[in-house]
């Protein structure tokens, strides 16, 4: 008697396709990619959903991204997508001439295209109004860009769903936006928020350093230091918590409080934890491969690159735990550093085995150097937190802004539309 099974032709034809597992963590739903539903069928569903639930895509971008191949490829892909109604582009670090070039760059997209020229005189004037009310974001960056894009999206007075992703994805294809929108756009589902995830393997290497070597071991270390925390367990359920791709129901735009720094992704997850039951939240596998522009490590400058990122993320976690009644001190952070360091080094060995099993390159020395840097940055972020415990890094909700300045959303809309007409 044969002990094994013979593969059918249909089965064998799929043997080279990456197959996701079917594991569920029991806290938030994980929507996997089993490669059984064709992307064309998913897009047909989305087109039907869009008749009643319009979809808006927000793209925060530096002008420099327009000169890189990734954004060109993203735009060429979006030209073929019919279910997205509105495309909102937040454009940072652009001169007048560069803004005009950006308008030409996005000109022939089929969606309603709106470009927020954040450095233009009209939006700068609005930002000054908000500064006088102490409501303007304190720092420039991706968080501020997204915040203003959210405000403009509110001004459109749409319903339906909103999705966001970065503009430096070099492996972009039509699967990504489709699978990102689907969980919140499908009227038969009950999800209000969806987080994208994907494997971080490219060019025979493991990427996702900050998630692998900071966030995952730090979350587990904090559980040991502060004790059981449903919030930390919630964060640890996400396969890739630092992914910049997420979607949510339009109604959420008014009430989200997000950080202006690199704590953005953790901050958004924290808001979802605070505002929604876990059964309204999901994560979805949106890409078989994912590659984007990498940040420099910046060992000698804590205000740049991965150093600043790890400090901002750590601070975001400490502040959130503090709001739940946890008390931190210098002694706490020293214990946390020691716990994190040991756990992170153990995880390096796990990643080494995983890499070797899959034929990937893996430099243990570089990984442990990174762990050492991150351990130092945990102490640094702890010092910053203790020196300014009352600091409020989160930008105000748009509901609050609208209450303080009821005219401002309409002014943002008018400014963007007037910028569109300029030549």
pLDDT tens, residue by residue, 49-83: 999 999 999 999 999 999 999 999 999 999 999 99
- Residue 18: predicted pLDDT: 53
Contact indicator for 281, 272 with CB cutoff of 8 Å? yes
Count Cβ atoms below 10 Å from residue 280 Cβ, excluding itself: 18
Work out whether the CA dihedral 245, 247, 251, 257 comes out positive or negative.
negative
Own/partner contacts of 294-303, CB < 8 Å, gap of 24 or more, are 294/207, 297/370, 297/373, 299/373, 302/377, 302/380
In the chain, the percentage of residues whose pLDDT exceeds 90 is 81
pLDDT surpasses 60 at 240: yes
| Residue bearing tokens 């294809």 | 173
Contact indicator for 234, 349 with CB cutoff of 8 Å? no
Say how far apart CA 275 and CA 278 lie, in whole Å: 10
Q: Which tens digit of pLDDT belongs to each residue from 193-204? A: 999 999 998 889
204: left (phi over 0), alpha (psi -120 to 50) or beta: left
- Residue 20: predicted pLDDT: 61
- Residue 176: predicted pLDDT: 97
3-state DSSP call for residue 191? coil
- Name the token pair of 422: 């300029």
Mean pLDDT, range 367-393, rounded to an integer: 90
Close Cβ partners of 399 (under 8 Å, ≥ 6 residues apart): 254, 255
Contact indicator for 347, 403 with CB cutoff of 8 Å? no
Closest Cα partner for 47 from 92, 4, 84?
84
Say how far apart CA 38 and CA 299 lie, in whole Å: 45
Say how far apart CA 248 and CA 163 lie, in whole Å: 6
Count Cβ atoms below 10 Å from residue 322 Cβ, excluding itself: 13
**Considering only 28-37, 173-182, 397-406, which range has the smallest mean pLDDT?**
28-37
- Residue 6: predicted pLDDT: 41
Contact indicator for 395, 143 with CB cutoff of 8 Å? yes
- Residue 12: predicted pLDDT: 36
pLDDT surpasses 60 at 351: yes
**For the chain, what's the residue count?**
423
φ, ψ of residue 29 in degrees (nearest 5) = -75, 140
Q: What is the dihedral of CA 152, 312, 332, 268, to 10 degrees?
A: 30
| Residue bearing tokens 């790890």 | 310
**Mean pLDDT estimate for the chain:** 91
- Residue 22: predicted pLDDT: 87
- Residue 11: predicted pLDDT: 37
Say how far apart CA 220 and CA 217 lie, in whole Å: 5
Q: Could you tell me the pTM of the whole model?
A: 0.92
Mean pLDDT, range 254-263, rounded to an integer: 86
Q: How far is CA 396 from the centre of its chain?
A: 19
Close Cβ partners of 152 (under 8 Å, ≥ 6 residues apart): 88, 114, 116, 412, 413, 416
Q: Which tens digit of pLDDT belongs to each residue from 301-334? A: 777 788 999 999 999 999 999 989 999 999 999 9
Mean pLDDT, range 14-40, rounded to an integer: 80
Q: Angle 166-172-173 (CA atoms, 0-180°, nearest 5)?
A: 130
Say how far apart CA 177 and CA 66 lie, in whole Å: 19
Contact indicator for 381, 311 with CB cutoff of 8 Å? yes
Tell me which DSSP letter residue 361 carries: B
Mean pLDDT, range 9-27, rounded to an integer: 60
Q: How many Å from the N-terminal Cα to the C-terminal Cα in the chain? A: 78
Closest Cα partner for 370 from 166, 203, 206, 199?
206
Alpha-helical regions (H) of 277-327: 305-323
Count Cβ atoms below 10 Å from residue 284 Cβ, excluding itself: 25
| Residue bearing tokens 């069928």 | 41
Work out whether the CA dihedral 301, 304, 305, 310 comes out positive or negative.
positive
């Amino acid at each position: 008697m044969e002990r094994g099974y013979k593969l059918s032709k249909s089965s064998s034809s799929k043997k080279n396709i990456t197959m996701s597992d079917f594991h569920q963590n029991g806290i938030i739903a994980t929507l996997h990619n089993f490669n059984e539903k064709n992307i064309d069928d998913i897009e047909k569903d989305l087109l039907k959903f869009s008749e009643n639930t319009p979809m808006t895509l927000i793209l925060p971008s530096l002008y420099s991204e327009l000169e890189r191949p990734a954004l060109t490829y993203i735009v060429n892909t979006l030209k073929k997508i019919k279910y997205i109604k509105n495309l909102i582009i937040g454009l940072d670090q652009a001169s007048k001439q560069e803004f005009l070039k950006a308008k030409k760059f996005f000109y022939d997209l089929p969606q309603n295209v709106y470009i927020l020229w954040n450095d233009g005189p009209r939006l700068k004037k609005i930002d000054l109004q908000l500064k006088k009310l102490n409501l303007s974001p304190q720092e420039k960056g991706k968080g501020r860009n997204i915040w203003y894009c959210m405000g403009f999206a509110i001004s459109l007075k749409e319903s339906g769903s909103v999705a966001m992703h970065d503009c430096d994805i070099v492996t972009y294809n039509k699967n990504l936006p489709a699978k990102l929108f689907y969980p919140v756009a499908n009227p038969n589902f009950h999800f209000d928020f969806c987080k994208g995830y994907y494997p971080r393997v490219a060019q025979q290497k493991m990427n996702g350093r900050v998630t692998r070597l900071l966030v995952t071991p730090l979350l587990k270390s904090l559980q040991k230091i502060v004790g059981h925390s449903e919030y930390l367990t919630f964060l640890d359920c996400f396969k890739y918590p630092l992914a910049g791709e997420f979607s949510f129901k339009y109604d959420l735009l008014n009430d989200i409080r997000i950080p202006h720094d690199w704590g953005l992704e953790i901050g958004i997850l924290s808001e979802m934890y605070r505002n929604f039951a876990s059964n309204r939240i999901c994560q979805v596998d949106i890409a078989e491969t994912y590659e984007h522009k990498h940040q420099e490590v910046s060992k000698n400058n804590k205000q740049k690159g991965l150093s600043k990122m790890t400090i901002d993320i750590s601070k975001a976690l400490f502040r959130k735990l503090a709001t739940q009644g946890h008390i931190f001190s210098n002694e706490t952070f020293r214990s946390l550093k020691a716990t994190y360091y040991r756990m992170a080094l153990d995880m390096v060995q796990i990643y080494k085995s995983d890499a070797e099993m899959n034929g990937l390159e893996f430099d243990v020395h570089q990984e442990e150097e990174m762990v050492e840097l991150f351990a130092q940055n945990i102490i640094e972020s702890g010092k910053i937190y203790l020196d300014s415990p009352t600091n409020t890094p989160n930008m105000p909700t748009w509901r609050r802004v609208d209450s303080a300045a009821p005219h401002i959303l309409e002014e943002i809309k008018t400014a963007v539309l007037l910028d569109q007409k300029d030549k």
